[in-house]
Structure 1
Amino acid sequence: MAQTSQITNIPNLITFGRIAAIPVIAWFVATENWTLRMIALVLFIIAAASDWVDGYLARKWNQTSPLGRMLDPIADKLLVGVMIVILAYDRSISDLDLLPACAILFREIFISGLREFLGNTKIVLHVSKLAKWKTTLQLVALIVLLIEPALVGFGIYSDLILWAAGILTVWTGIEYFRASWPHLAGDAK
């Protein structure tokens, strides 16, 4: 494939599209209109799938870039974070389920800050395979929460998936924190 600007390469354009879709998805859910919620569900699934597609294409076409490495996790965190806020707003996330939802938000913000801090020291926290599964489970939990109102008795499943995502999210956050501790404490060699 011909050399392109890192801003206009296809994988990064897909990531930009994912970011641009977030406010549209959120607005459709917030309107509390069932048809718009189902359109939001379809857009969310496309946005979630685009996370895999942009990475695959970047590697296949040798179009990985510093911009893409920065934007991709930001797009994921925005997609997850905004959806948690909107689903809490419309009460799709119950009071008790706010615990794993808040744990997810806390971890995502904390680890982003930790990565930024360590980036100033030239230390890179690489994304683990478990963290990739964590993102997938978060996205699945949000998909299930979006569709839950249409499926009578499905609430227990959405709760279980959200709690599993929350636990996995906290676990990976602890792993990253432990891996970075020597650099934070000044004990790294």
Structure 2
Amino acid sequence: MIWNIPNILTVFRLLCAPAVAIVFLFLPHPYADWVALILFGGASLTDWFDGFLARRWNQMSKFGTMLDPIADKAMVITAIAVLAMNFGPSPLIIVPAAFILLRETFVSGLREFLGETAGLLKVTKLAKWKTTAQMIAIAVLFSYGIFSHYLGMGTIGMDGATMDAILDGEMSDETWLRLSYYGSLWSYGGGVILLWIAALLTVITGADYLIKAMPFLKEDA
């Protein structure tokens, strides 16, 4: 095992996976949401940097090659579990999340079954776009928890008419109500749309891997 900067970044991303969930056990909202967003966002950036640096500095290693996809899957699966907990039984979140979890589990099992021939399941550009869409969607949905908290705090004791007047710009916005309102609106809607796009790409790439593996899954005559 080689401890170079790319591998250290990969290990950091792997350790961030459980940390994203654990912060919600010890911190209240919105602090837990802030920490989870920072951890997940920082870990997502390392997904690009570790590969870039490994190629740039010629520091590719078996350890990094093995751990990189594991760290990606750990981050995504843990974050989706946390989002499912935060949003509750929402079909808009649970359905795409279920497809994403199914695909990740299926492909991991497929690679394990193929053993030495698993190299045929190389990561495609579409699979990289899938991972990018997943990470952006999750980060946006984490930000919803922040916006919604401040929206709730800013409207305590406020009647509907006052809220409408502030949102329409007829009254001063001393509690940043407009930012919280539109932030929560767009982060939820945008996050859900991105999550469904990620789920669609997830299904497509999973089917692609299955088609490539089919010759190795046929029974001997």
> Same fold per TM (> 0.5)?
yes
Instruction: Say whether the 8 Å CA contact 2:87–2:93 is kept in structure 1.
Output: no
| Alignment partner of 1:106 is 2:138 | no
Partner-residue secondary structure (3-state), 1:90: helix
| Alignment partner of 1:182 is 2:215 | yes
| Alignment partner of 1:130 is 2:162 | no
Instruction: Say whether the 8 Å CA contact 1:131–1:169 is kept in structure 2.
Output: yes
- Which of 12, 22, 27 does residue 17 from structure 2 map onto? 22
Partner-residue secondary structure (3-state), 1:132: helix
Partner-residue secondary structure (3-state), 2:120: coil
Q: What are the Cα deviations for residues 131-176 of structure 1, in whole angstroms up to 9, with x where unaligned?
A: 0000000000100110123123222221111111101101100001
Partner-residue secondary structure (3-state), 1:96: helix
Q: Count residues in correspondence.
A: 182
Deviates more, 1:12-21 or 1:26-35: 26-35
Partner-residue secondary structure (3-state), 1:85: helix
Partner-residue secondary structure (3-state), 2:23: helix
Instruction: Say whether the 8 Å CA contact 2:37–2:142 is kept in structure 1.
Output: yes
Partner-residue secondary structure (3-state), 1:33: coil
Task: Pick closer, same or farther for the CA change 1:16–1:91 going to 2, 3 Å.
Answer: same
Task: Pick closer, same or farther for the CA change 1:76–1:164 going to 2, 3 Å.
Answer: same
Partner-residue secondary structure (3-state), 1:127: coil
Q: State how 1:1-20 maps to structure 2 within 5 Å.
A: 6-20=1-15
Report the TM-score, using the length of structure 2 for normalisation. 0.77
Instruction: Say whether the 8 Å CA contact 1:115–1:125 is kept in structure 2.
Output: yes
Question: Cα RMSD over matched residues?
Answer: 1.8
Give the Cα separation in 2 of the matches to 1:22 and 1:93: 22
Task: Pick closer, same or farther for the CA change 1:93–1:13 going to 2, 3 Å.
Answer: farther
- Which of 48, 61, 71 does residue 75 from structure 1 map onto? 71
| Alignment partner of 1:156 is 2:151 | no
Partner-residue secondary structure (3-state), 1:25: helix
Deviates more, 1:103-112 or 1:17-26: 17-26
What amino acid is aligned across from residue 192 of structure 2 in structure 1? D
Instruction: Say whether the 8 Å CA contact 2:2–2:61 is kept in structure 1.
Output: no
Report the TM-score, using the length of structure 1 for normalisation. 0.89
Structure 1 unaligned segments of length 5 or more: list them.
1-5
| Alignment partner of 1:171 is 2:207 | no
Deviates more, 1:32-41 or 1:166-175: 32-41
Instruction: Say whether the 8 Å CA contact 1:22–1:78 is kept in structure 2.
Output: yes
How far does residue 120 in structure 1 lie from its aligned partner after superposition?
3.8
Partner-residue secondary structure (3-state), 1:153: helix
Instruction: Say whether the 8 Å CA contact 2:44–2:135 is kept in structure 1.
Output: yes
Q: What are the Cα deviations for residues 47-106 of structure 1, in whole angstroms up to 9, with x where unaligned?
A: 001011110111111111111111000000000000011111122672332111010011
What amino acid is aligned across from residue 159 of structure 1 in structure 2? V
- Which of 30, 37, 41 does residue 41 from structure 1 map onto? 37
What percent of counterpart residues are identical?
45
| Alignment partner of 1:61 is 2:62 | no
Instruction: Say whether the 8 Å CA contact 1:93–1:145 is kept in structure 2.
Output: no
Give the structure with the higher percent helix.
Answer: 2
How far does residue 36 in structure 1 lie from its aligned partner after superposition?
2.6
Task: Pick closer, same or farther for the CA change 1:140–1:56 going to 2, 3 Å.
Answer: same
